[in-house]
Amino acid sequence: CRVRHYRFNVVTKNSTKLCSSKSILTVNGKFPGPTIYAREDDTVLVRVVNHVKHNVSVHWHGIRQLRTGWSDGPAYITQCPIQPGQNFVYNFTITGQRGTLLWHAHINWLRSTIHGALIILPKLGVPYPFPTPHKEKVIVLGEWWKSDTEAVINEALNSGLAPNVSDAHTINGHPGPLANCSSQDGFKLPVESGKTYLLRIINAALNEELFFKIAGHNLTIVEVDAAYVKPFQIDTIVIAPGQTTNALVTADKKPGKYLVAASPFMDSPVAVDNLTVTATLHYTGTLSNAPTTLTAPPPPNATQVANNFITSLRSLNSKKYPAKVPLTVDHSLFFTVGLGITPCQTCTAAANGSRVVASINNVTFVMPTFALLQAHYFNINGVFTTDFPGNPPQAFNYSGTPPANLQTTNGTKLYRLAYNSTVQLVLQDTGIIAPENHPVHLHGFNFFVVGRGIGNYNPKKDPKNFNIVDPVERNTVGVPSGGWTAIRFQADNPGVWFLHCHLEVHTTWGLKMAFLVDNGKGINESLIPPPNDLPKC
């Protein structure tokens, strides 16, 4: 194994898209940012240098960070942000993972333009558990705003209303020919006839779950969230912000040009966004004939198309890559996740005296102003409490009408897990307003998705149908609109680990909490000491 060094200069860059120009925050002047390559067991050192006027921090989304919680990156959770003019070296070793992940800024909405791919190749000499592709291509799906995203969310918070949606979706930074002024700005994916390609697909968008398909070609899914799956074929995938999917595609069709499309999945009666971005897959050496018509991308509410993909996912669970599903449960938790409204005197008239808030078990998480991990490690009192409830205040019963107790309490509350204990967490969407999937991401762990259903979770019946043999292993999972998802993981990583909806607007509204994993003898014995250059608040 090797040590891989990267330098990330956070710099502004002028960019013109959709006939308008603005200055964006980037890493090394790139959108999407540079790809990090490493092999399993390698150590990765990334020096992040802040040359801009904003505080920044970078998260290595899906990297386990075993005993290196200091390098996880969420601002005020594991570290204070890197201030203008300062730098910090993220230092982590990749253990037991291989596949595609992403890195992104983890403060406010800066990840809209500060993100990129993180590719973990198998150990040297270890083949993939699927046919070796001719070539590999990274496909980063994103969004483009004409306005500054910090302004977008700040305006929304002041008014009490939902923020605007983006002006375009992007594939590897290109808004594609369907977007305004972008007829020439489409991503092109050249392929050789007869060859097989591995697409490493990443959803780096802030707020959109996306369908992705290539006209006329099936995708063979081989991995999600850096964990191998049993290969299966499908024509459309669904991918939430923070999720990654590796798919093989073979150029076995009539040589020509084929449309590639990414379009929103809203799972809601009213889609607030239906912008499709297209790219072109073209067979090299063919004449520049027009792309074959796309079998139309699914409509935003094509829940069945999404379910076909989601329910096909199984861990590879081979001898070499067994699914280590916890079979016993030490902590059995039930979290309601959802949006609600709260009175607001200062909001604009259009908001009708209320603002949108989000909560888990009726707790709206309040961001601290000091990093939780440091507060824990150095025993600094008053930064957080450990009374996050393991169950909602009243038994949840979704009947389509809002239950009485919608009030939320505010707090920086953590839930304490014993080191190495096993956890079962049922995430129940309240579906009360804005029915929409919540892609919930857990830092520091991979978890197994043992069950999923629509309606109310039934603790007596539903566990009987849990898959504890080969459930898919992920770091981000969609909680279906008006339904539930059950996950299991082993709390084998000491530290403070954020759990939140990866739709950034929901995180902002408070759909987040953190676990404190602790060996009971003081975390100091199991976590490496904090690095000397750890940023100060």
Cβ-proximal residues to 371 (8 Å cutoff; 6+ apart), any chain: 75, 76, 77, 78, 79, 80, 537
Dihedral sign for Cα 107, 109, 112, 113, please: negative
Considering only 8, 27, 42, 61, the residue that binds ligand C2O (CB under 6 A) is: 61
Which residue in the set 133, 160, 186, 242 belongs to the binding site for ligand C2O (CB under 6 A)?
242
- Cα 423 to Cα 56: distance, rounded to the nearest angstrom: 32
Q: Which amino acid is at 89?
A: V
Residue of this chain nearest to ligand C2O (CB atom): 61
Q: Which of 54, 64, 98, 106 binds ligand C2O (CB under 6 A)?
A: 106
Does residue 441 belong to the site contacting ligand C2O (CB under 6 A)?
yes
Kindly state whether residue 497 participates in binding ligand C2O, applying the rule CB under 6 A.
no
17 binds ligand C2O (CB under 6 A): no
Residue 148 makes CB contacts below 8 A (sequence gap 6+) with 22
500 binds ligand C2O, rule: CB under 6 A: yes
CA-CA distance, 496 to 376, in Å (whole number)? 8
Q: Which tokens sit at 461?
A: 């019946």
Q: How many Cα atoms are found within 13 Å in the side-chain-facing hemisphere of 124?
A: 3
Interacting residues with ligand C2O between 66 and 85 (CB under 6 A) = 74
Q: Which of 508, 371, 520 is nearest to 72 (CA)?
A: 371
Q: Does 104 bind ligand C2O (CB under 6 A)?
A: yes
Least Å distance, CB 77 to ligand C2O, is 8
Q: Which residues between 380 and 419 bind ligand C2O (CB under 6 A)?
A: none
Q: Determine which residue in the list 64, 200, 282, 443 makes contact with ligand C2O, applying CB under 6 A.
A: 443
Strands 43-50, 3-17: parallel, antiparallel or unpaired by DSSP? parallel
According to the binding rule CB under 6 A, does residue 498 interact with ligand C2O? yes
CB 25, CB 9: distance < 8 Å: no
Task: Output 227 or 351, the one with its CB closest to ligand C2O.
Answer: 227
Residue 509 contacts ligand C2O per CB under 6 A: no
Identified binder of ligand C2O from the candidate list 17, 59, 213, 413, rule CB under 6 A:
59
The minimum distance between CB 500 and ligand C2O, in angstroms, equals 6
| 474 counts as binding ligand C2O under rule CB under 6 A | no
Q: Dihedral sign, CA of 430, 432, 433, 437?
A: positive
Closer of 111 and 355 to ligand C2O (Cβ): 111
From 167, 117, 105, 163, select the one nearest 141 (Cα to Cα): 117
Query: What is the nearest approach in angstroms of ligand C2O to the Cβ of residue 37?
Result: 19
Q: Is 506 near ligand C2O (CB under 6 A)?
A: no
Residues interacting with ligand C2O, by CB under 6 A? 59, 61, 74, 104, 106, 242, 441, 443, 498, 500, 502
